[in-house]
Amino acid sequence: MLQSLGLSAHAEAVYQAMLDHPAHGVAALAAQLGLPDGQVHDCLDELVALMLVRASSEHPGQMAAVSPEVGLANMLAREEADMAARQARLAASRAAVTRMVADRAETRAAHGERLLGIDAIQRRLEVLVRDTTTELVGVHPGAAQRPEDLEAGRKGNADAIARGVTVKSIYQDAARNDPYTTAFAHWLLSLGSEVRTAPVIPQRLVIVDRSQALVPIDPADSRKGALHVTEPGLVRALCELFEQAWSTAVPLGATRTDDPGTGLTETERQLLRLLGTGLTDDAAGQRLGLSTRTVRRHMASVMERLGATSRFEAGIKAAQKGWL
């Protein structure tokens, strides 16, 4: 149950036993769990490192379990801090990629090709997917994908997966509410590919065999055209951007649970952060793939939980509570 927080199964069992039997020493714990004494010692070292046990004041020489209300809450807080750091690195990488693309605008002719219009993009994608040998990854922002675009990608994806190509796709959390997108994503899963979602993801992106990529010329309207990138340094930066986004995304089919300390969903937390940077409702909604009406509904819910009568007051209270 706690393995997602970095706790091994045996260490979790030892922790539970210590909570149930505070007076048990190593020998008693080993006998109860059917584990060697040495393995119990290893589990205690693991629990100490995670600050779930400490020296017992009542039983000198023994360890005592820290209450779950304190120990597990601290573990969740550290996990949230790690995720926030990863998201910060993702944001920095996104900015670096944007700068790199702009800086290389004058040298694109030598290392990339501009594809103008959706037809040109789809023709190039067909060729790239057909020739993929090891890995095909994509980032698909927005609350919904166009049904015709999804259908256009079916045969290529199916053929690639059948050849043994690893296919990974990231969609925005909001896309889970679109029937066409979710149906296509579940179809990909049924073929053995991997699909994840996140509240905030990078711009639209396709990377083939970690050697070439397609990025939109205009991120605000990816149908205008794309740049076919083959320059190794830029492709590597795009791969790192994808990996950082992938590491913070949740597999399709899994549910994002509310934060036990705040009751916030990850979408609400990201929305608070985006609005806190000064973005308008429209701009924050675009980043999250949400309509302006949905953004306002989320904020009304958060303000009600905070007991705030204005956005400004909500921001102050959220910061005081450590929600940001």
* Tens digit of each residue's pLDDT (9 = 90 or more) over 177-212: 888 988 999 999 888 899 998 888 888 899 999 999
Comparing 3-66 with 111-251, is the CATH topology the same?
Answer: no
CATH topology of domain 3-66: Arc Repressor Mutant, subunit A (1.10.10)
First to last CA, the chain: 27
Domain boundaries, the chain: 3-66, 111-251, 266-320
- Digit-coded pLDDT (tens) for 25-44: 888 888 888 888 888 888 88
Q: Which are the contacts of 63, defined by CB distance < 8 A and separation ≥ 6? A: 18, 44, 47, 48, 53, 54, 55, 56
Q: How confident is the model at residue 257 (pLDDT cuts 50, 70, 90)?
A: low
Is the distance from CB of 206 to CB of 213 less than 8 angstroms?
yes
Long-range contacts, stretch 186-189, CB < 8 angstroms, 24+ apart: 186/252, 187/154, 188/157, 189/252, 189/253
What is the structure's pLDDT at 259? 54
Q: How confident is the model at residue 18 (pLDDT cuts 50, 70, 90)?
A: confident
CATH architecture of 266-320: Orthogonal Bundle (1.10)
- Digit-coded pLDDT (tens) for 108-140: 445 568 888 888 888 888 889 998 999 999 999
b/e burial code for range 134-148 (CB count within 10 A of at least 16 → b): ebbbbbbbbbbbeee
CATH topology of domain 111-251: Endonuclease; Chain A (3.30.870)
What is the structure's pLDDT at 109? 46
